[in-house]
Amino acid sequence: MSADSSWDTMAWRRRLEVFDRQLNPTSGSDSPALTQTSKGQVHSICQPGELTDRGRETTLALGERLRSLYVGQLGFLPSLLNAKSSSAVYLRATPIPRALESTQQAFRGLYPPTSRSAELPPPVIVQRAIQDETLFPNEGACKRFGELAKAFADRTAQIWNPSPELAYINKRIGKYMPAESPIVKVDSHPRLSGVMDTINATLAHGPATKLPSEFYDDQVRANIDSVCVKEWFVGYTESSEYRKLGIGALVGDLTQNFVKAAQSTAKSGSSSTEESFKISLSGCHDTTLAAALAALGAYDVNTAKWPPYTSSIAFELFQTKSATAQTPSVTGSGGSWWSSLFSSAPASTQSTATRTPVAEMTPTQQSSLDGHFVRVRYNDTPMTVPYCRAAGRHLEGDESFCTLRAFKEAADAVTPRNWKEECRANLGQPAVMGAVSRPPGL
């Protein structure tokens, strides 16, 4: 804020200071010392949780791909953002710095400065307080989910710590573990998932950050990936409560937006309304992506890989050209809706009716879903939601296009009625009560 009460962004450069002994373990002291990169750079060094330069490059490229497809190829989004068209884009991010920075970079790729009019104000990015955040599996804010996550992680440790897979990992990299935690385990310190994160981060950034060669042994990486996927995501395949509390609120948000769009189309004959967006970009996390897929049954924890860096999911809503057409369209002013990564509508536009389960909708509300299809694309590859495989639940000839009604029925099965209330329920109870509950359609 300046003296005349106007606001601007201050340009500045960061330097990181540490204890000297952190840089020189054998001869250092508690004196302050500037840290630097392997190339001797001292400016703009990342803090934990922030995007590196490489991360900014790849998220910018993601936005550029979106622009190429939805502006260049399909003409679905406006090529220029101005005061009239700016509402077409909705931006959201978690409170984690790299998620916010990912949203900023993707938006810049989608709409670089030259494609935004001069009078356009800075874009709005919606965030929530951490206790209200559902854009990632929130163990801290949802106590019951925290219990469930710990229980499934502990079970994974019991099963896999004594396994041949972990024995091979220890044979190759155990010698690099700290003395206070000399054996690599699911629940060691660092945890197995922490080792995985370090390996993946160094692979993404070239030789200057490389670890000893044993960490990149193909079998080591495959074993680590397989066990970590099970630790973090098997709960979504076995517990309805896990699905609802871990990711169900987000699935409910994006489905609610689809229903709102479809109902708007049914009333007006067009999917364009004053306060509607055409694309929503949300900066989230690898645990968000795999959780959403697993909850809908589209992520097999026995074969799936951990989401690579800059992974994305697109949830797309299509509208047929006519009420009886069999080919969904995303072109022209006939109005198809698209939601990228994840969407969460502004609170003021949300309504109870659009979140009502299909089974409780009126016949008129149910009929408004007709003629609409949902497709899920993970890293640009169409995915099939198992619930939509049955006859009548997908576009004829392509199971990846769920009818909106079928997709909402699947979403209803994983969406909590009251997330915060259910987060306080069943505390202290077993993680799996009764029979194992599979995702809808499995």
DSSP, residue by residue, 42-58: -SSPPPTTS--HHHHHH
- Structural domains of the chain, count: 3
The answer on 75 and 194 residing in a single domain is: no
Q: In terms of domains, do 249 and 196 share one?
A: no
Q: What is the mean pLDDT of residues 150-179?
A: 98
Note whether 31 and 19 are within 8 A (CB).
yes
Domain membership of residue 209 as a residue range: 161-236
Is the overall model pTM greater than 0.85, yes or no?
yes
The residue count for the chain: 442
Encoded tokens for 301: 């924890």
Q: Is 167 exposed, middle or buried (0-12, 13-18, 19+ CB in 10 A)?
A: middle
For residue 380, is pLDDT > 60? yes
The answer for residues whose C-beta is within 8 angstroms of residue 425's C-beta and 6 or more apart is 144
Q: State the helix-helix crossing angle for 53-67 and 97-110, rounded to 10 degrees.
A: 40
Q: Specify whether 91 is located in the same domain as 218.
A: no
For residues 442 and 440, give the distance between their C-alpha atoms in angstroms, rounded to a whole number.
Answer: 6
For 55, 211, 298, 355, 436, the CA distances from 49, given in Å and listed in that order, are: 11, 20, 28, 34, 35
Domain stop point among 213, 236, 259: 236
Through-space distance between the first and last CA atoms of the chain, rounded to whole angstroms: 56
Domain identity same for 260 and 326: yes
**Residue range 21-73, pLDDT digits in tens:** 988 988 889 999 998 887 888 888 888 889 999 999 999 999 999 999 999 99
Co-location of 183 and 156 in the same domain: no
Residue entry with tokens 């006859």: 391
How confident is the model over 318-334, as a mean pLDDT? 55
Residue 232 shares a structural domain with residue 287 = no
Question: Is the pLDDT score of 157 beyond 80?
Answer: yes
- Give mean pLDDT, residues 222-251: 99
Asked if the model's pLDDT at residue 240 lies above 70, the reply is yes
- Rounded to whole angstroms, how far apart are CA atoms 440 and 160? 28
Mean pLDDT, the chain, whole residue set: 91
276 or 280: whose pLDDT is higher?
A: 280
pLDDT at 273 over 70: no
Q: What are phi and psi of 291, to 5 degrees?
A: -65, -45
The pLDDT, as a whole number, for residue 342 is 54
Indicate whether 349 and 431 sit together in one domain: yes
Domain boundary among 236, 251, 284: 236
222 and 244, same domain (yes or no): no
Q: 329 to each of 15, 32, 266, 344, 391, how far by Cα in Å? A: 51, 61, 16, 23, 21
pLDDT the model gives residue 336: 36
Same domain, 255 and 270: yes
Q: Let me know whether 153 and 258 are in one domain.
A: yes
Residue 296 has pLDDT above 90, yes or no: yes
Q: Is the model's pLDDT at 74 over the cut of 90?
A: yes
Percent of the chain clearing pLDDT 90 (strictly above): 79
Query: Does 278 share its domain with 190?
Result: no
pLDDT > 70? residue 325:
no
Residues 338 and 380 in one domain: yes
Radius of gyration of the chain (CA): 24
Of 219, 236, 253, which residue sits at a domain end?
236
| Residue 431 DSSP label | S
Rounded CA separation 288/233 (Å):
10
Task: Name the one residue in this structure whose structure tokens are 């101005």.
Answer: 82
Q: Which domain CATH number covers 411?
A: 3.40.50.1240
